[in-house]
Structure 1
Amino acid sequence: MHTHLAVSKIPAIFAGSILTIIGVRNILTSNICRFFRCFRNMRERFIAILEHKKLTAKKLEQLTGIDREKWYALRKGGRRINEDDIKAIVGLAPEYALWLVTGNTAPESGQTSPEYDEALSKLPSQSAGSN
């Protein structure tokens, strides 16, 4: 007995609905990415942190002891992000640990993203006693 449903056995009304949902999701994702920078993988998020913190390869080498050539290669796509890179950036920017690894934020726990912090910094300040 097959445990999955063959596509040919899906009633046409449901198949059309599924395709509509997928289409809407793709349109929404596309529009969201147009307005917000989308980070599809950990390397892109890693680079966003480096840019936000204004960390050059030379500065990263000084702060982490990891050769600057490795940082250059990572930024240019010449190598994949590894455990040492993750430990280094989390040590320098612990507030971005969750976002770096999962792409999610939890502001109530102090786990944000560079974009979240940037947006928050642009909000009008709320000082006590102001109208």
Structure 2
Amino acid sequence: MPETLSERALLLINATSLTELSKAGTTDYPRWVNIKRGRARVGADEIEILGALYPQHRWWLMTGEVMLEMGQNRPDYSQK
């Protein structure tokens, strides 16, 4: 599993359409493309958007930890 916040964010970004990401907040489509392709770093605004899109992964996104008892898991848990 991804080790850093940026790696965890990229995992969620790659699992989401860029159109959906650009409609979910103030970050525009070209910026999401640049982040996905490694030409830009994920920022606080993008982390907030991902947290809003994936509330069940918010804690994992921020810390890398899973808290199943609180409904907070990794993406591979929710795919089972």
TM class by smaller structure: 0.7 to 0.9
1:1-131 alignment runs, 5 A limit: 38-52=1-15, 55-118=16-79, 121=80
Q: Give the count of matched residue pairs.
A: 80
Task: Determine helix, strand or coil for the equivalent of 1:81.
Answer: coil
Pair member with larger Rg: 1
Contact 2:13/2:36, CA 8 A, preserved across alignment: no
Q: Deviations over 1:76-127 (max 9, x none)?
A: 1111121101111111111111111111110100110101222xx2xxxxxx
Q: Distance in 2 between matches of 1:43 and 1:72?
A: 15
Q: TM-score, normalised by structure 1?
A: 0.56
RMSD: 1.4
Report the AA paired with residue 42 of structure 2.
Answer: I
Identity %: 25
Q: Structure with the greater relative contact order (CA < 8 A, sep ≥ 6): 1 or 2?
A: 2
| Structure 1 residue 40: Cα displacement | 1.9
Q: TM-score, normalised by structure 2?
A: 0.86
